[in-house]
Every structure is written in structure tokens, then in C-alpha cells.
Structure 1
Amino acid sequence: MPGTTQANQPHPSISPEQAAVEQQLVDTVVASFDKTEDPRLKQLMQALTRHLHNFVREVRLTEDEWTAGIEFLTASGHITDDKRQEFILLSDVLGLSMQTIAINNPAYTGAAAATEATVFGPFFVADAPEIPLGGDIAGGAAGRPCWVEGTVTDTEGRPVPGARIEVWEADEDGFYDVQYTDQRVAGRAHLFADENGKYSFWGLTPTPYPIPHDGPVGKMLESVGRSPVRASHLHFMVTADGLRTLVTHIFVEGDPQIEIGDSVFGVKDSLIKDFTEQPAGTPTPDGRDLGGQAWARTRFDVILAPARN
């Protein structure tokens, strides 16, 4: 690729003497981790050192650029708190989160392929309230009601009774409950699959929204001409004994943002689902009275891979 060099190769614009000085420093820093007792920690630190130094050498990083980078990371730390994780956002928009997920969730196929994983996101909250099958996760959040149903099975097609299903989503204004200051709990809950692995609940029809972009990550996206908007989605985390935990979400077929681009690269074709609009007055699956409001419905059948040893 023009303008790049291969790892460990001197930059074409510098002399062999300068390249030797730079490589000696790399070798010295890498060797400083030689006595690390934990072999995995040693591997991580030495590889990180090599890649960081190679990046600096490849782009010929200036001192002003290094300072700007340190200031960016410092600002990311300052804006991070118990409700906002700027470093997760940074990982997400660089595609690092999705790459880590791809490495740690290899494709698995039995009688059927396991459901694909995608980014966890920064807005999961543990201990969300439990709802019964057919319950409502909205908790008063604004948006068009949506009936979600499906099954949880393993890759051999066997139902997974009692699978725990965590779900969370933004309201129609694009905000999660934790982004408000009134301590509300809305748009999130957990429920358990029945004895046949079936589940159902009421949620909100997902809409596109921007990731938090009032901080360093947002400024970075603006400076490079990238949109902070995420494609419409609904988060899931499904857990069951003996099976791989699945963190994923489903996307709305026909959402223009899918074509424009999801800001965290989370969209996978297998996770795009039909959210069928139901006109006002259409009977609901459970007989719920929506007061003449239009609603939507979708189906998401979850297939869990075996747990890794």
C-alpha cells in the first residue's frame, strides 16, 4: 500500500544509521519484558511494544502529534465514569471491539450455525429487572411498541429451557435510561425461556441514534468525516449452562443507516431482521390493548454454541 512500510522494515526516507538507532530501542524495550513470569503477559507486552514502535516509525510521528494523542487519551479518561465508558466507544469506532469479538467467537456449526455475536456496547447494566414471558421491557420509555419472539436452541436443534435472556435498547429519542439523570430504569429487562426454549416480550421498535459524540471520540469522528450514528438495533445477551454466552443484537431490515454504515461496524447480515409494521387496531399476539396504536413485530431465533473448554 502506498505510504506504508512493512513491520520491522526501515522507513524509505531515513538512513540505515537512523533505522539502526530506532530498531535498537525497540529491541531494548522488548527485552525489558523478558523476565515476565506470566508467559501470556510477556507475549502481550512484547507484541504491544513492537506494534506501537512500528506505528510510530511508519508514520514518523511528530512530538506535537504524540502530545495530541496523550491529550486525547487523558480527555477520554476524564469523561469516563460509571455510566459512560469513552474507551469502549473508542474501541468500537476503531473496529477493535468487533475484531476481538470475531477472534473470540469463531463460527460454530452443528446441525445449524450458531448465532453470530456483535459488540456489547457501553450501556449494559447488570441486575436489570425480571419480566415474565410476554412482559414489557419498555418501562415507560417512549417509542412504538414491538412484539419480539423466538426460541433458544443449541446447534443440534435442542431447546434450551431456562436460558436467561437480557435485552436492552434506546428509546425513540436515541437515549438509554442511564443517559438520563432521573435514575429511571427503562428499555431493559431480563427473562427466561420456557420449557420449550420459547420466549417473547414487548419492547420498542428500534430507531437509529448516535453514540455519545460530545467527547473526544465524537470530535475524532467529526475531524475525519465519519458519522456517529448507529443502525437501529436491539441488544441481547443469552446465557445457559454448558453453552457459549452470546452477546449480540438484531438490526432492522430496510434501515437506511445499514447502507450508510454503522458507526461501530456491528452489523452482520444474519442479524438483520424483518420488523413488520402492524397497523393501528391489528390484534396483538397476547391480546394486549394498545389503545389504537400502531406496533411492530419481529422474530429472533437464538442458536447457542457449546461452551469452549
Structure 2
Amino acid sequence: MSFNDNVTLDTSQVRSGGGGGGPGGMVVGGGIGGLILLVLAMVFGIDPSSIPTGGGQLDPGQVQSGGQQDPNAFSECRTGADANRNVECRVIGTVNSVQAFWDGELSRSKYRWEQTPTVLYSGQTQSACGTASNQVGPFYCPLDKTVYIDASFFDLLTSRFGADDGALAQEYVVAHEYGHALQDQLGLLGRAQQDPQGAESGAVRIELMADCLAGVWAQHASQVPDEDTGTPFLEPLTRQDIDSALSAASAVGDDRIQEAATGRVNPESWTHGSSKARQQWFMRGFDSGDLDRCDTFAVDSVYRG
């Protein structure tokens, strides 16, 4: 999905480097994230929820002293044209679009969207949920209410997990993590921790709901305007765009990752859902464009229809 060239990117919604908080804790609401840890857990039979993320160091080149944003960070990200040619600018533009969409969507309800920053880093940085790195992947940390993304993860998603390198595959990842932010604001995210494993577990239902919420955003994305210009951030989707998002959803299905890692599939250890289910729930959100259609806890099985 391409950005309209003349839209303005708001880099204030994204920080470079550390997100505060001390070492330790556990990444919660990882969604797309945690792929490397998940593969290791499946190979060695470890409960993924027992793996600590550790306490890495802040990248001193990314954040000024006192944890203030580097004023020169993302200076190359000014317009939609920049988002079309630069992956970090594309993340920033997607963050702008997703937040503008949920702000407008929730304004019609009793809820109000709370602006949620993204930390866009390279290598590793510190979150309140532990060390953010490519070993963890993109995730939402509810302890500091921040999304963490290393843009180089998208290369890993393609080279190791088989997703294509299309723009909507990358934008889907961002929108999925903001789905977790929305779940947190609605008081739903904790249900993943109460029931953390199994094909029909709370963890799986939370992840598939985030896929669905990403699909809802994708349906409306070409109508969400940039506040400065009034022009929609994104151009209308093509079939190729949708196929790109579905390739990413399929790539991170529990069954596909287990099959590649161990040669067998064990639904009892699932935390994210099957490839088919991830695609189906994304399309459920996309086809309906309706937040209310994403209630994965209202169905008997998340694998039907």
C-alpha cells in the first residue's frame, strides 16, 4: 500500500532508541514479535512465557543524555514520498495513519484513543518489558504503553519466515502491534496472560483479534487524512497489497513456524494461532471494516469460518 506523495509525516509520534524502564520483565502482547524466541521454545520444549527478555543496554547513538529525543532523528522522513522509499519512514507514516484512524473511530464511542508512541531503533534498546531486539521482534509493551520496532526485522520476516517484501506486509506488522495497544486501552490485553497457551487459548484469541484490528484499519486506511494537507495518508489497496499482508500473516502462524523448526505441529503450545486463522481474521476485519466483528472471545472456535 503506497503513501500519497504529498502527505506530511509526524515524526513526533516516534522516538529513536530507548523507551525507559529497567531490565527484566516480560514482553507482553508481542503479536508479530517473539518469533526467534518462539522458535527456540518450540525446538527445546520451553514454555515461551518463562523466557525472560533480559536487560540490555541502551544504544548511546540513538538517544541523547536524559533520554531526550535526538532532534535530528528521522529528519529524512518528511512526506509520503519518503515513506514510499524508506522503510523507517514507512513505519512512521503507518503509525500516523493507524493512530489517526483509531482516534476517529473511538471518538464515536465512550472511549478515547490514547496516543501511543513507537520506539524505532537499530540493534537493541531497553523497554519497561525488557530488552527490545530482533531476537524478540516487534512488540507492544503495556508497562510503558509503547510499541518497539527494529525496521531490520522486516528483512528477517522475508528471508527467514517467507513473507513477501511488499509495503502492506510491513504496515500490517505495525497495525497489528497497535491492535495490542487498542486492546490494552479497552482492558482486554490481560486475557492473554490468564490463558497463555493452546489453540483456543486467550493468548491466541488476543493475537487473532489484533490481526482482525489490523484488517479493519487496512479497509479504511485510504480514507484516513493527514491533518496538515487533508489528503489521505495512503492510496487505495490493490489485490497485490492484500496478498502481501496475507503472506506476512501466514508466515507467522504457529503451525508454520513449528513445522519449519521441528517438523511437527503441536497445537497445545500455540500462542498466536495457525497461518490460516491469522489470514482469516485479518480478512474478517478487512472485509467488514467493523471493530465489533473482531471479538474473538465471542466465538466457540477461532478456526471456523
TM-score by length of 1: 0.26
Question: Quick check: which one's strand share is greater?
Answer: 1
- Of structures 1 and 2, the larger Rg is shown by 1
Higher relative contact order (CA 8 A, sep 6+): 2
Question: Quick check: which one's helix share is greater?
Answer: 2
